[in-house]
Amino acid sequence: MPLHSSGIAIGGAGLLKSKGDRMQKREGPCVGTKGFRAPEVLFRSVHQGTKLDIWSAGATLLYFIIGRTPFAGDPDQNIKEIVKLKGSEDLWEVAKLHNRESSFPADLFDTKSLSPVKLRDWCSRNTRKLDFLEIIPQSLIDLVDKCLTSNPRLRISAEDALRHEFFAPCYETWRKQKLHRLRFSQESQDLGSTLTIPESSQSCSIVNKVQVAN
């Protein structure tokens, strides 16, 4: 069964190739560390925004979780590896979004459409340290999954990523530290006020010293 998109079967790559030959579509750069590049980079889109860094951050966290580069190989192989996680429909939609259908690996057209899998299940199959995976909180898995959203338009923003529940303990710690500093500052000010010698007392002290000197 060939790859489907929106219920319409794609018969093969030949039509796309001939169409691409006529249109001479522009290509964007495909730079970055292998295995950490976003789909729009792998498809050589000319529209590459800051969301590609969110994908790279997610891939870096995924590397931390499973202990190896998550998506290895050249751009075509990277796309095939991502398809195993995100599904072929997701990647095909990204290719269409960026007008880069011709960059979609040709051999994926003639295979059965692959469904996405849950990230934790994918990690279980690909990790080098299963014991470590078992202690990874679900909140981190969810954050990584949102960072690795195929469509950059739907991918989580940097601001929302920092507000994610995974970072809640950090914010709570910072809040407590801030309150502690404020209390310490206030107590220091109060103590300073208590130890300050009144102006009248200072004057008396000076007069006494002058009298003793005389």
In the chain, the amino acid numbered 207 is: V
For the stretch 21-80, pLDDT in tens is: 434 467 777 888 888 999 999 999 888 999 999 999 999 999 999 999 999 888 899 999
Question: How many angstroms separate the CA atoms of 123 and 115, rounded?
Answer: 16
> Do 147 and 181 sit in the same domain of this protein?
no
For residue 179 the two structure tokens come to 């309150």
For residue 202 the two structure tokens come to 């200072």
The contacts of residue 175 (CB under 8 Å, 6+ apart) are none
> Do 192 and 153 sit in the same domain of this protein?
no
For the stretch 105-144, pLDDT in tens is: 888 876 668 889 999 999 999 999 899 999 999 999 999 9
Give the pLDDT band (50/70/90) at residue 200.
very low
User: Strand (E) positions, the chain?
Assistant: 4-5, 8-9
Q: Decide if 42 contacts 105 (C-beta within 8 A).
A: no
* Per-residue pLDDT at 18 exceeds 60: no
In the chain, the amino acid numbered 31 is: V
Give the pLDDT band (50/70/90) at residue 204.
very low
> Do 101 and 196 sit in the same domain of this protein?
no
Q: Decide if 40 contacts 94 (C-beta within 8 A).
A: yes
Please name every residue paired with 9 in a beta bridge, in sequence order, or none if there are none. Answer: 4
Question: How many angstroms separate the CA atoms of 40 and 83, rounded?
Answer: 14
Q: Which is more confidently placed, 134 or 7?
A: 134
pLDDT computed for residue 30 by the predictor:
81
Q: Which is more confidently placed, 207 or 178?
A: 178
For residue 188 the two structure tokens come to 């220091």
User: How many domains does the chain contain in total?
Assistant: 2
| Residue where a domain stops, chosen among 118, 134, 157 | 157
In a domain, 47, yes or no: yes
Q: Which of 49-58, 69-78, 176-185, 204-213 has the lowest mean pLDDT?
A: 204-213
Residue 27 sits in which domain range? 4-157
Q: Which of 138-142, 149-153, 207-211 has the lowest mean pLDDT?
A: 207-211
For residue 176 the two structure tokens come to 């407590």
> Do 16 and 72 sit in the same domain of this protein?
yes
In a domain, 22, yes or no: yes
> Do 182 and 84 sit in the same domain of this protein?
no
Class of residue 60 by CB neighbours under 10 A (exposed 0-12, middle 13-18, buried 19+): middle
| C-alpha count within 13 angstroms, C-beta hemisphere, residue 115 | 2
pLDDT computed for residue 142 by the predictor:
97
Mean pLDDT, rounded, for 153-172: 92
> Do 47 and 144 sit in the same domain of this protein?
yes
CB neighbours of residue 7 within 10 Å: 5
> Do 200 and 133 sit in the same domain of this protein?
no
Question: How many angstroms separate the CA atoms of 62 and 71, rounded?
Answer: 10
- What CATH number has the domain bearing residue 97? 1.10.510.10
